[in-house]
Chains A and B, each alone.
Chain A
Amino acid sequence: TQLLEQSPQFLSIQEGENLTVYCNSSSVFSSLQWYRQEPGEGPVLLVTVVTGGEVKKLKRLTFQFGDARKDSSLHITAAQPGDTGLYLCAGYQGGSEKLVFGKGMKLTVNP
């Protein structure tokens, strides 16, 4: 059973469209993180959300942590080809030192 479920798993859109990626769990997380991975590279941290209900913005990306700290979403406005990549959510549960990852959402933005 996957602890963090991401949806959709794949998305192919045209430049300028908006999209939302979801990261859901039945467990509570002390924090959730979002990473972006470009082909042939390692994942790079985009943001960490810590407080239930928290919203963080990073240019055209908006991240939200659910009130119950069991889910998160990433919304991209006016997607660009440079947004293409694998988006991963990850979280720490309670006092664990191990980061749990979702399987990721592969985004392709066509010019």
Chain B
Amino acid sequence: DVKVTQSSRYLVKRTGEKVFLECVQDMDHENMFWYRQDPGLGLRLIYFSYDVKMKEKGDIPEGYSVSREKKERFSLILESASTNQTSMYLCAIMDRKAFFGQGTRLTVV
């Protein structure tokens, strides 16, 4: 079974903090994605990566950056967390279908 693991289930951070969300996969997949999910807005793509050290902006990249130094790890970075970044963050790998991590519920206070 494919395993996608996000480092935290729940996080509470203060406004202005730098936040790292980590995602690790065990299947050697090239394609990794970060989404945020909000009520009424659905899943929105933040960033994705097709290979190591490669990144592409999704639909809502503002306020975020990513890092992919190793194939199995894709990190989402909130440079200066704001309250409007409170959300459920989902990491996924895709090979004509998506395998999601369990999600990180981030609250910015």
Contacts of B40 in A (CB 8 A): 103
Interface residues on A, range: 20 to 34
Q: A45-B97, A48-B97, A104-B42 are in contact. Are A98 and B48 (CB under 8 A)?
A: yes
Q: How far apart sit A97 and B50, CA to CA, in the bound complex (Å)?
A: 10
CB of B103 within 8 A of CB of A40, answer: yes
A101 close to chain B: CB less than 8 A: yes
Q: A98-B45, A101-B43 are in contact. Are A35 and B103 (CB under 8 A)?
A: no
Is the C-beta of A99 less than 8 angstroms from some C-beta in chain B?
yes
Contact (Cβ within 8 A) B97 A42: no
Specify the chain A residue showing the minimal Cβ separation from B103.
A42
Interchain CA distance A75-B102 in the complex, whole Å: 26
User: Which of the listed residues A33, A42, A43, A90 has the most CB atoms from chain B within 10 Å of its own CB?
Assistant: A42
Contact B48 A43 (CB under 8 A): no
A102 at the interface (CB under 8 A from B): yes
Digitize B78-109: 1 where CB-to-A-CB distance is under 8 Å, 0 elsewhere: 00000000000010101011111111010000
- When distances are taken between beta carbons in the complex, the residues of chain B under 8 Å from A92 are 96
Q: Does the CB pair B43–A42 fall under 8 Å?
A: no
Distance (whole angstroms) from the CB of A91 to the closest CB of chain B: 11
A74 near B: Cβ within 8 Å?
Answer: no
> Which residue on B lies nearest to A9, using beta carbons?
B40
Nearest residue (CB) in B for A33 is: B97
Residues of A within 8 A of B (CB): 2, 31, 33, 35, 40-45, 48, 88, 90, 92, 97-99, 101-104
A-B contact pairs, 19 of them (CB 8 A): A2-B42, A31-B96, A33-B97, A35-B98, A40-B103, A40-B105, A41-B102, A42-B4, A42-B100, A43-B100, A48-B96, A48-B97, A92-B96, A97-B31, A98-B48, A102-B42, A103-B40, A103-B41, A104-B42
